[in-house]
């Protein structure tokens, strides 16, 4: 555990006094220290293109009075700097008359170990794996024209100091391994990307030459795309494969169920609590407690332990995801969903691992039931307009379905739909729920945080597919 101010002129008593003095007339707030050690190593175009190590230390000081949030952050850790932040907060909340809520729940459950993945594996051995990846792919297939492979790893240590001197700490490891391959055949170029990651050591992912599986998967996706034809355009049935395609749930539904948008009534879901928002059989949870997953957290960035929050149960909207601020203003409790990218950002209610649970049908039944449609296996990125509820996804691997059979691969298909109505169009839920491989980063208000998703195969009755073939 790093001690955040042992190299400064601050003592713990100074810090506690400044925090208590600043927050005395506030409803909430805290001082957040963060120490982030991170590395990234990139192989590209046959060479180690970059190796970077970064060490970032800083604090963010937050004071809340009613709905107003005052925030100040700096990476100069000293008495002067902390005091000037304190003055800045006090001047924003001049006339504040809040009552500080000291209650913060605690558990002893930890969902990952206090490790530093960067130091656990030597740089030499990481370079060796990246070079092996490059050689393996280029030898394996002569159409391989470009290989990019990367490691990124970090250890983030945090300490949250609340008024009254209460301190909460967490040490969070996170790694990611990624391979991208570009193929060229008859003048046509296509890429395939695959990656794995989570909150444990590199070796846990790379044992038994597991890196080869990652290569194979990237290569397979690129090969499929090389034989793809233009996507159809228009409204049709869509079968989504299990696992990563759940980012559609994340974008289309998840964001709309975050507390801030609902408190502000800017979400299309804000007046639908207790109502039917999805077909029967659709249950969606947001779970921060799954061991070593990318989206898991022992405590959130306000110190609240994470939990498994049921968002939609058998089609009925049950809960929103809350941080302390939005929970207080909506008369409910935090679900441990308060997150921030780092000390430079304010806390917002965010997703952790968002999952649609398994149903009873098989993927085979779904495909068989479709006369004309598409089967989407993997997505690149997606985006949602929270207010109108409209969302968009780009397929990176998809196939036509004709008369109940999977046909040719299609390229460049975009799926567009309406968040609040899409779940009502789900007509079959598969029995094959799967987690994604641990690669998701969710963006909101300019802040990226690691997240996970999971779902079984599902059949959606009607979606607009945006291809070029009419």
CB 224 within 8 A of CB 199: no
Closer by beta carbon to other proteins, 75 or else 107 = 75
Count of residues touching other proteins (by CB under 8 A): 78
Binding positions for other proteins, 118-157, rule CB under 8 A:
123-124, 127, 145-146
Under 8 Å CB-to-CB from 135, ≥6 apart: which residues? none
Binding positions for other proteins, 445-464, rule CB under 8 A:
464
Q: Using CB atoms within 10 Å of the CB of residue 234, give its burial: 0 to 12 exposed, 13 to 18 middle, 19+ buried.
A: exposed
Binding flags for other proteins, 11-40, as an x/- string (CB under 8 A): ------------------------------
Asked if 216 is part of the footprint of other proteins (rule: CB under 8 A), the reply reads no
Asked if 408 is part of the footprint of other proteins (rule: CB under 8 A), the reply reads no
Query: Which of residues 12, 20, 42, 44 is near other proteins by CB under 8 A?
Result: 44
Closer by beta carbon to other proteins, 150 or else 200 = 150
Q: From its phi and psi, is residue 309 left (phi > 0), alpha (psi between -120 and 50) or beta?
A: beta
Cβ 386 to other proteins shortest distance, Å: 8
Asked if 97 is part of the footprint of other proteins (rule: CB under 8 A), the reply reads no
Kindly state the tokens that stand for 154.
Answer: 């970090």
Asked if 185 is part of the footprint of other proteins (rule: CB under 8 A), the reply reads no
Asked if 53 is part of the footprint of other proteins (rule: CB under 8 A), the reply reads yes
Listed ranges 24-32, 53-61, 154-162, 327-335: which one lies at the site for other proteins (CB under 8 A): 53-61
Cβ 391 to other proteins shortest distance, Å: 7
Q: Could you give the C-alpha distances from 451 to 55, 247, 253, 297, 415, in angstroms and in order?
A: 23, 10, 15, 10, 22
Binding positions for other proteins, 337-356, rule CB under 8 A:
344, 346
For residues 464 and 164, what is the distance between their CA atoms, to the nearest angstrom?
Answer: 55
Asked if 91 is part of the footprint of other proteins (rule: CB under 8 A), the reply reads yes
- The size of the chain, in residues, is 470
Comparing C-alpha atoms, which of 456, 109, 453 is closest to residue 295? 453
Asked if 329 is part of the footprint of other proteins (rule: CB under 8 A), the reply reads no
For residues 297 and 289, what is the distance between their CA atoms, to the nearest angstrom?
Answer: 7
Listed ranges 11-19, 84-92, 149-157, 284-292: which one lies at the site for other proteins (CB under 8 A): 84-92
CB 350 within 8 A of CB 449: yes
Closer by beta carbon to other proteins, 52 or else 332 = 52
Query: Which of residues 3, 9, 17, 68 is near other proteins by CB under 8 A?
Result: 68
Closer by beta carbon to other proteins, 107 or else 441 = 441
Handedness of CA 358, 360, 365, 366 (dihedral sign): negative
Closer by beta carbon to other proteins, 198 or else 420 = 420
Binding positions for other proteins, 244-283, rule CB under 8 A:
264-266, 268
From the CB of residue 246, how many other CB atoms can be counted at a distance below 10 Å? Answer: 29
Under 8 Å CB-to-CB from 329, ≥6 apart: which residues? 67, 263
Beta bridge partners of 33: 59, 159
């Amino acid at each position: 555990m790093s001690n955040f101010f042992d190299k400064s002129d601050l003592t713990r008593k100074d810090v506690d006094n400044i925090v208590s003095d600043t927050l005395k007339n506030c409803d909430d707030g805290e001082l957040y220290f963060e120490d982030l050690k991170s590395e990234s190593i990139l192989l590209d175009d046959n060479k180690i293109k970059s190796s970077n190590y970064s060490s970032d230390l800083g604090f963010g000081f937050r004071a809340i009075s009613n709905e107003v949030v005052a925030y100040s952050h700096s990476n100069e850790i000293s008495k002067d700097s902390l005091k000037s932040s304190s003055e800045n907060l006090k001047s924003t909340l001049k006339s504040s008359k809040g009552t500080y809520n000291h209650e913060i729940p605690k558990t002893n459950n930890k969902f990952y170990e206090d490790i530093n993945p960067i130091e656990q594996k030597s740089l030499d051995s990481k370079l060796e794996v990246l070079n092996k990846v490059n050689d393996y792919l280029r030898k394996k297939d002569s159409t391989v024209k470009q290989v990019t492979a990367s490691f990124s790893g970090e250890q983030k240590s945090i300490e949250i100091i609340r008024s009254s001197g209460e301190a909460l700490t967490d040490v969070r490891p996170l790694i990611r391994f990624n391979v991208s391959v570009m193929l060229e055949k008859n003048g046509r170029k296509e890429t395939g990307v695959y990656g794995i990651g989570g909150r444990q050591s590199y070796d846990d992912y790379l044992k038994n030459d597991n890196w080869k599986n990652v290569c194979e998967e990237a290569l397979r996706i690129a090969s499929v795309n090389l034989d793809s034809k233009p996507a159809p355009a228009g409204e049709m049935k869509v079968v989504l494969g299990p696992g990563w395609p759940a980012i559609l749930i994340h974008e289309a539904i998840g964001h709309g169920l975050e507390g801030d948008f609902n408190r502000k009534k800017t979400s299309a879901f804000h007046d639908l609590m207790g109502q039917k928002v999805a077909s029967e059989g659709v249950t969606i949870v947001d779970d921060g407690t799954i061991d070593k997953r990318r989206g898991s957290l022992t405590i959130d960035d306000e110190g609240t332990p994470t939990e498994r929050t049921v968002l939609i149960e058998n089609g009925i909207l049950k809960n929103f995801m809350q941080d302390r601020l939005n929970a207080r203003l909506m008369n409910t409790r935090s679900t441990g969903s308060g997150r921030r990218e780092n000390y430079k950002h304010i806390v917002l209610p965010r997703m952790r691992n968002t999952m649609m649970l398994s149903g009873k049908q098989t993927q085979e039944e779904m495909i068989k039931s479709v006369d004309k449609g598409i089967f989407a296996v993997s997505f690149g990125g997606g985006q949602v307009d929270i207010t109108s509820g409209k969302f968009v996804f780009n397929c990176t691997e998809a196939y036509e379905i004709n008369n109940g059979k999977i046909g040719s691969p299609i390229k460049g298909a975009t799926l567009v739909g309406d968040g609040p109505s899409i779940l009502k169009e789900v007509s079959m839920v598969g029995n094959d729920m799967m987690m994604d491989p641990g690669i998701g980063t969710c963006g909101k208000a300019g802040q990226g945080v690691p997240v996970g998703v999971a779902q079984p195969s599902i059949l959606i009755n009607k979606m607009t597919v945006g291809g070029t073939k009419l």
